[in-house]
Structure 1
């Protein structure tokens, strides 16, 4: 069966998602999916003025390609749209010293959730007062380091942590500012692993059970702890503002109750973030300005209804800034057509990366798209599945995509939207070497995170010997 015939039968036989029913022109891009400087030049994918074919020749593949202008533009868009808020970039999405510096230079603050992330932020010169510290299981040494560094706020997540942090503050003879993470009981419309505001999960104090109010009382009673306010986060990859509306209503109601029953008007409130991005054409993310209008209206309405003064607000976009600013470039290794039931053909395209550099497809059943990045093609489309090099059937990079039927080993493929949680969650599975991050701007490429080497792997293997 020819590739053309395989494609013709594929949509009905395979029940493809609606966004894949019509194969795209392989020589064109869908701008929504790519960073702002990305374009195709006679088939060659160019980012930040650098052709990915040239980048691959110099730095090899796989490689993450980070568009500096796009990252900075998205950071500024959130800063300007949420001008009356404190905007915290969520470092867990992707963090290195270069990113931390860009965040600070663009006027954003930074959230960290581990000693390693805090170390990177401090090494980059981020003002500790502009750092927030998350985490559901912070150790005493971890808390001590954060307090000693002068971190601007610590988001407490359990009664144990409140006691632990109060003890640390007493030992250091200082006062540290805290926020209390609360669970609003909202079922966000996202994957269960990245929904964080429903009751049955590890984060936060339940408003419904009364634990959140009790946490407030304990923080207020503790010496050395200054309560800034409540922190709510409903999840990640969220497109529907209705979840924020329900959460804000419940958190503001608790805010008002604290003022009336505890006698404390908390000055701040964090509404979280988790704003979605476009991984495929089926995704429809909101612009920062639209999000700012919608969220501000929600808060203003609820504060009026409760008769309270609006607290200082903060939000935490991470994915929405860095996600679209990065793509991953791979080299095709094998192209293998596989006959399926119903007469369809799916072509398995194996690349030189996989779940070690993008675990999200396997972990979250995430959808991605991709494009031929190294040449133009007039060949008819074929239904392809882009898979990695690892010994797992679930090692899938892109589940379904139409690619040119003349795809061949040595071609380059690029996957957009890989800035968030790809390098951060990368692993050494099968002893793979984690790819570099190459920043591009104005035709210049520079390494901001180098590729791992075999020596890096052996450095932690204390039984390794030469020869």
Structure 2
């Protein structure tokens, strides 16, 4: 019997708080020391749905949509569906007033199946093929982003009605790991693309689009992009007598995966973008366009927690400790982890967390404080994993894990686990 058993009132002070900069807002310890999300114990979810499993907090997704709407009231907020495109997620974000950006015919089908108004959908790809452009035109989606002369030609041949088009440009701003796509802003190829779109009677050039890169922390990069793009929009107006009304600066807002990491400061971003729009429009005597942003990871990453079951705890060659779990990295980078089935009382030690398919070459978490008596069968949670690829999908025929939504004390299976039978159905019989 421990002091916590004798004096239960000590339990609240003995159990550390979860870092709100990494974990969903509604993540807490319950009276038994277990970690809960959305009012549901994560250990119970692991037992019910198996592991690995991705848990998505609906309330957190909706809350983050509302934060963007509140801080950017005059900006069109578009959810970048490539971060996680499921019908439920598409419904949540549109119910909160966001439009949806899709990057493929598959994502478009999911959005339409979710009942999203096609006019609130933007298609944006890199070299979008004929079939996907045809699907977008047939569906009657609101805007299509083009990034090559070929796409313009294909789209002009497909359009049966007036179709709004955004031209993807590269503003020439150096960002580590930045995007390589888009017409160089103000260059000859950009001018040729503008002229080609304007020459097509069924295409409406409504604005410019850019995507600077991912995990951007410096708001000034977006401000500089705005100033440069407004200059070119003003030139287009002068040369072609065409007024562009939309300026889309993409997404890429930084989200920290572990304590101590830095998110982009959205309040600072809101102020800087507003100033950049005022300055750019005043300098070029250009009417203020509708500003569009496309956050994806920033909407869903923090809402997701991935659960793994411990397979083994072992010592590694450098004298450290390694925890092997039953899944693999989801490509989110190295994060943190926490035992969810009991409070972390007692001695702890530092460890790394790796998937059982070590050849994948990526740590799941590193420098994690774990109970010194951690045992096989216990459950670890890795936060900030709501975006992008499911852990271990397709690797060594492992299949994709399920996605389970939580809200108000209930769970809802959004995506079932991919089985070996599912994988075999894709093989040709020999």
The normalised TM-score by structure 1 is 0.86
1:80 aligns with 2:93: no
Paired position in structure 2 for 1:35: 24
The answer (yes or no) to whether the contact 1:276–1:285 under 8 Å persists in 2 is yes
Structure 2 unaligned residues grouped into runs of 5+:
1-13
Partners in 1 of 2:167 and 2:264 — Cα distance? 28
Match of 1:3 in 2: none
Q: Distance in 2 between matches of 1:274 and 1:79?
A: 17
Structure 1 residues 259, 63: CA separation in 2 closer, same or farther (over 3 Å shift)?
same
Quote the Cα distance in structure 2 between the aligned partners of 1:107 and 1:85. 12
- The whole-number CA distance in structure 1 between the counterparts of 2:169 and 2:191 is 9
Partner residue, 1:376? 343
Task: Please give the alpha-carbon distance, in whole angstroms, between the structure 1 residues aligned to 2:212 and 2:264.
Answer: 17
Aligned with residue 331 of structure 2, among 337, 353, 359: 359
Which of 122, 141, 145 is the matching residue for 1:151? 141
Match of 2:84 in 1: 94
How many Å separate the matches in 1 of 2:272 and 2:304?
27
Alpha-carbon distance in 2 for matches of 1:79, 1:287 = 15
Superposition TM-score, scaled by structure 2 size:
0.93
Partner residue of 1:428 out of 390, 394, 397: 394
CA distance in 2, matches of 1:317, 1:270: 11
1:8-157 matches, cutoff 5 A = 27-41=16-30, 42-157=32-147
Q: Which residue of 2 aligns with 1:220?
A: 198
Q: Does 2:320 align with 1:307?
A: no
Query: 2:255 aligned with 1:274, yes or no?
Result: no
User: RMSD of the alignment, in Å?
Assistant: 1.7
SS in 1 for 2:249: strand
Task: Find the aligned partners of 2:425 and 2:289 in 1 and give their Cα distance.
Answer: 50
C-alpha distance in 2, partners of 1:378/1:391?
Answer: 30
- 2:302 is matched with which residue? 324
> Which residue in the other structure is 1:437 paired with?
403
CA–CA distance in structure 1, aligned partners of residues 367 and 277 of structure 2? 40
Give the secondary structure class of the aligned counterpart of 1:228.
strand
- Residue aligning to 2:162: 175
- Which ranges of structure 1 fall in alignment gaps of 5 or more residues? 1-24, 361-365
CA displacement, residues 290-312 of structure 1 (integer Å, 9 cap, x when unaligned): 42222122211221122211111
Contact 1:27–1:43 (8 Å) recurs in 2? no
User: 1:161 — aligned with what?
Assistant: 151
Comparing 300-309 and 125-134, the one that deviates more: 300-309
8 A contact 2:71–2:266 mirrored in 1: yes
2:245 and 2:270 mapped to 1: Cα distance? 20
Q: Work out the CA distance in 1 between the residues paired with 2:166 and 2:371.
A: 52
Contact 2:218–2:264 under 8 Å retained in 1: no
2:165–2:206 contact (8 Å) kept in structure 1: yes
Task: State the 1:26 CA deviation.
Answer: 7.8
- Aligned ranges 1:201-220 → 2 under 5 Å: 201=180, 203-207=181-185, 209-220=187-198
| 1:346 equivalent in structure 2 | 320
Q: Pick the aligned partner of 1:185 from 172, 176, 179.
A: 172
Q: Please give the per-residue CA displacement for 1:201-258, whole angstroms capped at 9, x wherever unaligned.
A: 2x11111533222211111111210011000111111111121122112111111111
Equivalent pair of 2:227/2:279 in contact (CA under 8 Å)? no
- Report the Cα distance in structure 2 between the residues aligned to 1:455 and 1:391, rounded to whole angstroms: 24
Say which structure, 1 or 2, has more relative contact order (CA 8 Å, 6+ apart). Answer: 1
Separation in 2, partners of 1:104, 1:85 = 15
